[in-house]
Amino acid sequence: MTEQGARWTAEQVLALAPDDPSRRAGSKLGSAGPWSGTGTGDQGAVWGLCKGSGRTPYRTVVDTTGPASTCSCPSRKFPCKHALGLLLLWAGGGVDAVGEVPDWAETWLAGRRARTGSAARSATGADAGPADPEAARRRAERRAARITAGAEELERRLADLLRGGLAAAEHAGYGLWEETAARMVDAQAPGLAQRVRELGATAGSGAGWPVRLLEECALTHLLDRAWLSADRLPGPLAATVRSRVGLSAPPEGPTVRDHWLVLAQYDTADSRLTTRRVWLHGRASGRTALLLSFGAAGRAPQLALPVGVVLDAELRPYASGGGLRAELVERFAPPAGPAAAPVGGPVGAALDAYGHALGEDPWLDAWPVTLTDVVPARADYGWQLADAPSGGARDTSGGAASDRAREAVPLTRAAQAHPALWRLIALSGGGPVTVFGEVGHQGFTPLAAWSADAPGETVPLV
């Protein structure tokens, strides 16, 4: 433990890496050899000089309360390999506490504190200037009209597709789908554009693709019709529809202060955008929250939180997204830890939770759940997570059900191909574990796990 909170583990540090090459390069810089002038302060700052190929060492500073970092190296990755190496050195106890911060480090830290304070004031509306509600209303009406025109055009194209037969979609090529997606972008409906691109990726994507394409066409048609009838929908469903077509809305409602355990963090990317998802769980409120951060294609988003730490922070939820998505408003203390797993339940309860959420949002791909006392087991179709036998005995049946009340959920294709599956199997050792992840129509994706032997250690699985 340090003055700025719990000292991170090497695994938590490496979880911040934007990609595997950065992870490998940062690991090589995690020893004292290339470093000089290192130190850590009482407000979560870590700094040091790293010897590079040139005459001048790279100046690296990390604010662990963010976390955020800066480095004089030319890398465009965040965090860079030098920041990762410095954090690994600090996590291993190789950085001593120093009373005085160097001027070059203090300059960046002071600027960051000023920017953070300004952002907090903006989030609370303290710096908000006068707004023109009439102009905002006219802009919203113009955009709604464009989206309506785009939804109507998409309806016609879906009708043409079904009239001509799904088999023709395999030979049409991706260009037609991309042209339709571009039309939705012109209509200022990025959510519809994304669904069109998913349709194009589904066509000809392997065995059973016509069934999957028909399912996706039906969901897209449902979203179109919901937008065209949004004025007649209940308020929460209308907010979900607006969010799904791509209309962003600011977070609203009262803030929630809690001690939030960082459950998981992972990135998804396409040719335009990198999206980072960070899952949190409030220890007092029992709420699960999702933080989203975005970066340009090829660039890691700024927000990065080590898995397994606890944040004393205040969040403000968004109206859409089932109440999961939230904005990080303010942090009141450096990250601490460790913490026990969230309270979960059996497989059946998780599936019920997903079904209820699906009733609120028909376009929902997955829902966050925590499975308690489950065992990885092999089935004919691949790996699954099954309720452990009564009494928590180790499962030596190879997946055969020994208790009629036990249920199981299959892992998604991506999860079964991910190397972290073997980490989960090793963590279990045939015994029950607690697993947090996302359950959806394609199965379950494990994101973090806890063993009975170390209930306070969060093991990342992404």
- Would you write out the chain's pLDDT as a tens digit for each of its 462 residues? 344 456 788 888 888 888 888 989 999 999 999 999 999 987 789 999 999 888 899 999 999 887 889 999 998 888 899 999 999 999 999 998 887 889 999 999 888 877 766 555 555 554 445 567 888 888 889 999 999 999 999 999 999 999 989 888 887 778 888 899 999 999 999 999 999 999 998 888 888 899 999 999 999 999 999 999 999 999 888 989 999 999 888 888 789 999 999 999 998 877 777 889 999 999 999 999 999 988 876 677 878 888 999 999 999 998 776 789 999 998 888 888 788 899 999 999 999 999 999 988 999 999 999 999 999 999 988 999 999 987 555 555 444 444 446 899 999 999 999 999 999 999 999 999 999 999 999 899 999 999 999 998 999 998
How many Cβ atoms sit within 10 Å of the Cβ of residue 453? Answer: 10
Mean pLDDT for the chain? Answer: 87
Residues 373 and 391: their CA atoms lie apart, in Å, by 10
> In the prediction, which pLDDT does 386 show?
96
- What's the helix, strand, coil split of the chain in %, to 5? 40, 25, 35
> In the prediction, which pLDDT does 120 show?
52
> In the prediction, which pLDDT does 146 show?
94
* Helix (H), strand (E) counts: the chain: 13, 15
DSSP at 73: S
> In the prediction, which pLDDT does 5 show?
54
Residue among 326, 342, 335 nearest 254 (CA): 326
**CA angle, corner 154, sides to 223 and 320, nearest 5?**
25
Residues 360 and 241: their CA atoms lie apart, in Å, by 11
> In the prediction, which pLDDT does 399 show?
45
Q: How many residues does the chain have?
A: 462
Structure tokens at 384: 């699954």
DSSP at 431: S
> In the prediction, which pLDDT does 207 show?
85
> In the prediction, which pLDDT does 402 show?
46
Four-CA torsion 381, 387, 390, 392, nearest 10 degrees: 100
Residue type, 448: A
Output phi, psi for 211, to 5 deg: -65, -45
Output phi, psi for 120, to 5 deg: -65, -40
H helix or E strand, kind and range, residue 58:
strand 58-63
> In the prediction, which pLDDT does 11 show?
82
Residues 210 and 452: their CA atoms lie apart, in Å, by 44
Residue type, 458: T
Cis, bond preceding 79 (omega within 30 deg of 0): yes
> In the prediction, which pLDDT does 400 show?
44
Cis, bond preceding 67 (omega within 30 deg of 0): yes
> In the prediction, which pLDDT does 336 show?
82
> In the prediction, which pLDDT does 50 show?
95
CB 61 within 8 A of CB 40: no
> In the prediction, which pLDDT does 115 show?
74
Residue among 309, 330, 315 nearest 285 (CA): 315
> In the prediction, which pLDDT does 1 show?
39
> In the prediction, which pLDDT does 137 show?
86
